[in-house]
Chains A and B, each alone.
Chain A
Amino acid sequence: MKKLFSKADAVLIAVLLLIAAAALFFRMRGSAGEERFARIEKDGETISYFRLSEDLPYREYEIGGAVPVTIAAENGAVWFLHSECPDRLCVRFGKLSKTGETAVCLPARVAVTVEGEKKAVDAVTG
């Protein structure tokens, strides 16, 4: 009978969780006080990049190709509105508004990401 759990297993799981916790911690620290931008990519190339301001008026992006998708943005959030792909996972990601949030439609090769950029005034310290 094979053993269920060993010391090596415990080390492996601890390392995995530590890496995840460290990465998430640094990401959260880095994203404070940033201006947010949305990036829309198709086949790995940026096709649209715009500021996600809180008062952004509603807009839609229709992206053609073998699997057409529609992306919408409004009031500081961006999301997959519609997709012709079979499983619609991209639509299930919901609205993205925080830095680092990503939704992707693999069949369409389209990705949407919220990115942060430091405001210029942040550099002034006193």
Chain B
Amino acid sequence: MRLRDEKKVRSARRIAAIGIFAALALVLSFLEGLLPPLPMMPPGAKLGLSNIVTMFVASSQGLLPALLIAVLKGLFAGVTRGFTAMALSLAGGVLSTAVMYFLFKTKKFGLIGVGVSGAFAHNAAQLLCAYFLTSKTMLWYAPWLCVLSAATGTLTGLLLRAVLPLLEKLERE
């Protein structure tokens, strides 16, 4: 009896933690929208701050909770910015979360490497979406997206290292 209660408490805690992290990801992507556009990069290029959250959840809670957050983010984009934004967000979010999870599993990559791979997967998925939705010429952006992923992914990795103690505390409580 005692054991079962403990199990229930633990799973309730887990669900609550995932909810908090999902909210955090939404707030970060909203705040990011308020920043000025990145110089030298194609319009629409973003830092991907909310990737910090999916990255952390992928490493600490596992694949499914992280995917759940990516899907929630996509649905939120659908509600606030329309169908195209939702399709792009889902494609990028789901692929990058899966890539980050599997790279964490290999244990060969550091936070920066995982961040860069996640950013690259996110960009590549969105570029392919744009390719199929509009024009083959979208592939002209591919080299710039490589550069962009290296820069923003490194930033994501560094920021995650900086806020890691806070996120771990949030997870425990």
Given the interface contacts A4-B112, A107-B84, A109-B133, does A13 sit within 8 Å of B138 by beta carbon? no
Q: With A and B bound together, what is the CA distance between A118 and B76 in angstroms?
A: 47
Contact A19 B113 (CB under 8 A): no
Q: Is the interface of B mostly helix, strand, loop or mixed?
A: helix
Asked if A20 contacts B134 (CB within 8 A), the reply is no
Residue pair A2, B59 in contact (C-beta under 8 Å): yes
Q: What is the chain B residue whose CB lies nearest that of A99?
A: B140
On chain B, the residues within 8 Å of A90 by CB distance are: 43
- Which residues of the other chain, A, contact B149 by a CB distance below 8 angstroms? 16
Q: Does B146 contact A (CB under 8 A)?
A: yes
> Which of A13, A86, A102 touches B150 (beta carbons < 8 Å)?
A13
Binding site for A on B (CB under 8 A): 37, 42-44, 59, 81-82, 84, 88, 108-113, 116-117, 120, 130, 132-138, 140-144, 146-147, 149-150, 154, 157-158, 161, 164
Give chain A's interface residues, CB within 8 Å of chain B: 1-6, 8-9, 12-13, 16-17, 19-21, 23-24, 27, 39, 41, 43-44, 86-87, 89-90, 92-93, 100-102, 104-107, 109-111, 113, 115
